[in-house]
């Protein structure tokens, strides 16, 4: 039975605390206060700059000065939040205090001399003090990346940021002119293409507000509202609790942008409900992992990656969000159909309606969440105010919330600020470090060379290049966040895809989607492993189940690369045709994966049953493949091929039924 909002909030906070103990320091009171002040300073700086308030005295801050100040504050927060090792889980040691003081002094110096740094082009010819400060900043940023993102981020950043200093020693394919370490340092730190390049600029001007909005939504009760809404709408359907997981985890994932934290927030509620009606532990864990991962690319809020993508492509965020609509619908529709087929095959019913929350009461308690979401989408789509929209939405949410029974107390407000500080510190540490990768490639000009070499290695075969890209994206996604892996591949791999004639937006979406697949694909399926810990089942079994449930996403990126109509990049008729055939195709693939097709029933057991499922699955894949595009196949040809495979499957199944009936009559 669904629990009350208070119980759910308590469970969500307990889940978050389990994550914090693994990664974050348990700070004493004075350091929590310091974090709250720094978070407030970061938000104030961002609001002042984004709204162009001029500190209310008409003083408009230079963009580079703003970047120095806000980055300095958030880097200080990294060294308060993340311990260097497990030996300082509950206190900030002297060496971290020393680093924090050093960051404050260095970035204050940069802010004071911001005009000179720009006018005198210190990124190319800095005075000795600028060189030494840049070298120290470089080391500090790499350590911040290690603490916030782990050793994989540190190693990759170290290799590529230092690459200009040993580029002449490498094989000719990846060789470049060597640059002295002092010149590399000032380019990284005092220019606008590395540390303060695209990732940090997007973070400080666009992503910041959406992070504040997402956390505010969770702390004002948005999570319990969406879960209750899902139970009220879907809880009594066949396999209801699993369908609830799709709806609620998808929405929560869209807000948080983090698959693992989303699993640990909604999993303690959805997984026991799934177990209660008969879902196996590993299946329940797989459903939760897939739903939470899918939320990352679900509009309207898709996490930091979508904003970085929009900046890379020089298009609006709304364009990226609109392009993600059909792929995200196909993904969640595939999950829904698989769950429905599994429940039908195993005769799993929903929860009794009398145990579910009433839809009217849910809306009465949380109507303003829908209103705020509608206001946010209106500002994004109609007014095109991407930078300021989340701040207005957050203000509206907090004002309305204070007039409800869920209003924030002072203690809960401090928790909200603390959580904001942790998330801002984590993303700032990772994105600042990842910016050094861009700098290392930009100063040597090697990115274009790598793109051409990849095309050459693939023999100019686009399919081979896509497979290479998929594997690279997946491997990087294992060790890095989705955003960090995407940024690296957007520089190195995407130019190779676009040089081969593929659509730029589809190419960027392709590497982002494949970077996310590592969260549900063994051997390192982090979202599935997190769900396994909640479901008390083997992590590998949960990972394999998640991989099977999320199977459709392995194909969808190839579909929209072959024909961008699935990203709504074609004419209205082309878009409608691609979407409708893909939807039916996904339903057939889902039926094949679970062994049950609506209207046909169980697809059979044994070797012949496997063949029935294979033919059904192939028919679905063929139908989902967009017509035209890269291969130029006509829609009629694809429909004809689909019918051949589908009718073959029907014929095989009739043989199975006839044999089974014959055996029964003989007995």
How high is the pLDDT of residue 479?
Answer: 60
Mean pLDDT computed over every residue of the chain = 85
Query: What residues contact 139, with CB distance under 8 A and at least 6 apart?
Result: none
Which residue shows structure tokens 């994966």?
A: 593
Q: Residue 537 carries which DSSP code?
A: S
Whole-number percent of the chain with pLDDT over 90: 29
**In the structure encoding, which two tokens stand for residue 20, read together?**
């914090």
How high is the pLDDT of residue 12?
Answer: 42
**Exposure string for 545-576, b = 16+ CB within 10 A, e = fewer:** bbbebbbbbbbbbbbbbbbbbbbbbbeeebbe
How high is the pLDDT of residue 593?
Answer: 87
Q: Residue 407 carries which DSSP code?
A: P
Choose the weakest-confidence range: 51-55, 217-221, 338-342, 343-347: 217-221
Across the range 353-368, mean pLDDT stands at 88
**In the structure encoding, which two tokens stand for residue 205, read together?**
């001007």
pLDDT (tens digit, 9 = 90+) per residue, 169-207?
A: 988 878 888 999 999 999 999 998 899 988 899 889 888
How high is the pLDDT of residue 11?
Answer: 46
Beta bridge partners of 316: none
How high is the pLDDT of residue 480?
Answer: 67
Name the band, by pLDDT with cuts 50, 70 and 90, for residue 43.
very high
Judged against a pLDDT cut of 60, whether residue 87 lies above it is answered with yes
Across the range 244-249, mean pLDDT stands at 83
Compare 60 and 100 and report the one with higher pLDDT.
100
**Rounded Cα–Cα distance for residues 32 and 200 (Å):** 25
Query: What residues contact 285, with CB distance under 8 A and at least 6 apart?
Result: 267, 271, 528, 531, 532, 534, 535, 537, 542, 545, 546
**Is residue 617 within 8 Å of 589, Cβ to Cβ?**
yes
Judged against a pLDDT cut of 70, whether residue 666 lies above it is answered with no
**In the structure encoding, which two tokens stand for residue 88, read together?**
């300082």
Beta bridge partners of 596: 602
pLDDT (tens digit, 9 = 90+) per residue, 445-502?
A: 887 677 677 777 777 678 888 888 888 777 776 666 777 778 888 887 888 888 888 8
Closest CA to 478 of 148, 24, 153, 114: 153
Closest CA to 439 of 402, 487, 404, 395: 487
pLDDT (tens digit, 9 = 90+) per residue, 44-85?
A: 999 999 999 988 878 888 999 999 999 999 999 999 999 988
Choose the weakest-confidence range: 63-67, 165-169, 429-433, 524-528: 524-528
Across the range 354-367, mean pLDDT stands at 88
How high is the pLDDT of residue 48?
Answer: 93
Whole-number percent of the chain with pLDDT over 70: 91
pLDDT (tens digit, 9 = 90+) per residue, 589-609?
A: 999 988 888 888 888 777 777
**In the structure encoding, which two tokens stand for residue 213, read together?**
């909005």
Judged against a pLDDT cut of 60, whether residue 22 lies above it is answered with no
Name the band, by pLDDT with cuts 50, 70 and 90, for residue 8.
very low
Name the band, by pLDDT with cuts 50, 70 and 90, for residue 21.
low
């Amino acid at each position: 039975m669904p629990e009350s909002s208070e119980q759910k909030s308590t469970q969500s906070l307990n889940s978050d605390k389990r994550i914090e103990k693994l990664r974050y320091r348990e700070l004493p009171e004075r350091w929590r206060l310091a974090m709250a002040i720094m978070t407030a300073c970061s938000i104030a700086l961002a609001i002042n700059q984004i709204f162009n308030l001029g500190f209310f005295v008409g003083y408009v801050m230079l963009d580079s000065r703003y970047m120095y100040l806000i980055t300095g504050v958030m880097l200080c927060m990294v060294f308060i939040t993340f311990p260097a090792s497990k030996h300082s889980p509950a206190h900030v040691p002297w060496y971290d205090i020393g680093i924090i003081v050093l960051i404050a002094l260095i970035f204050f110096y940069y802010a004071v001399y911001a005009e000179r740094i720009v006018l005198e082009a210190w990124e190319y010819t800095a005075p000795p003090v600028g060189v030494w400060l840049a070298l120290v900043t470089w080391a500090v940023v790499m350590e911040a990346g290690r603490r916030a993102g782990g050793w994989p981020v540190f190693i990759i950043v170290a290799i590529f940021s230092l690459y200009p200093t040993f580029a002449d020693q490498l094989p000719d394919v990846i060789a470049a002119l060597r640059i002295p370490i002092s010149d590399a340092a000032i380019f990284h730190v005092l220019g606008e293409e590395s540390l303060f390049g695209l990732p940090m600029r997007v973070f400080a001007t666009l992503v910041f507000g959406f992070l504040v909005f997402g956390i505010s939504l969770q702390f004002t009760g948005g999570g319990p509202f969406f879960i209750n809404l899902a139970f009220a709408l879907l809880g009594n359907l066949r396999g209801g609790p699993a369908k609830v997981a799709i709806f609620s985890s998808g929405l929560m994932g869209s807000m948080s942008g983090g698959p693992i934290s989303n699993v640990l927030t909604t999993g303690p509620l959805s997984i026991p409900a799934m177990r209660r009606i008969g879902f196996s532990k590993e299946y329940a864990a797989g459903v939760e992992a897939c739903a939470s991962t899918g939320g990352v690319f679900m509009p309207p809020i898709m996490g930091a990656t979508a904003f970085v993508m929009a900046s890379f492509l020089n298009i609006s965020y709304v364009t990226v969000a609109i392009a993600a609509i059909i792929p995200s619908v196909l993904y969640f529709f595939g999950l829904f159909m698989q769950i429905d087929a599994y429940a039908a095959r195993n005769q799993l019913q929903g929860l009794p309606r009398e145990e579910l929350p009433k839809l009217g009461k849910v809306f009465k308690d949380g109507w303003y969440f829908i209103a705020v979401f509608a206001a946010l989408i209106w500002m994004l789509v109609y007014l095109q105010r991407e930078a300021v929209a989340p701040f207005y939405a957050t203000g509206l949410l907090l004002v309305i919330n204070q007039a409800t029974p869920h209003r924030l107390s002072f203690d809960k407000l401090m928790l909200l600020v603390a959580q904001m500080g942790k998330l801002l510190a984590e993303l700032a540490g990772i994105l600042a470090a990842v910016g050094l990768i861009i700098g290392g490639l930009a100063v040597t000009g090697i990115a274009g060379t790598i793109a051409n070499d990849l095309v050459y290695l693939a023999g100019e075969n686009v399919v081979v290049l896509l497979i290479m890209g998929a594997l690279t994206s997946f491997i990087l996604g294992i060790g890095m966040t989705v955003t960090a892996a995407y940024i690296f591949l957007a520089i190195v791999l995407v130019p190779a895809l676009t040089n081969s004639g593929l659509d730029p937006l589809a190419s960027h979406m392709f590497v982002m989607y494949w970077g996310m697949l590592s969260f549900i694909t063994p051997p390192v399926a982090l979202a599935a492993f997190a769900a396994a810990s909640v479901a008390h089942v083997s992590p590998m079994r949960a990972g394999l189940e998640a991989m099977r449930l999320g199977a459709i996403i392995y194909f969808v990126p190839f579909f929209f690369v072959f024909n961008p109509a699935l990203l709504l990049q074609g004419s209205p008729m082309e878009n409608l045709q691609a979407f409708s055939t893909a939807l039916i195709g996904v339903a057939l693939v889902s039926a094949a994966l679970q062994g049950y097709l609506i209207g046909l029933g169980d697809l059979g057991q044994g070797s012949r049953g496997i063949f029935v499922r294979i033919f059904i699955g192939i028919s679905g894949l063929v139908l989902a493949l967009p017509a035209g595009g890269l291969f130029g196949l006509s829609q009629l040809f694809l429909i004809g091929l689909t019918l051949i495979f589908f009718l073959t499957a029907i014929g095989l199944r009739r043989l199975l039924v006839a044999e089974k009936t014959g055996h029964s009559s003989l007995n």
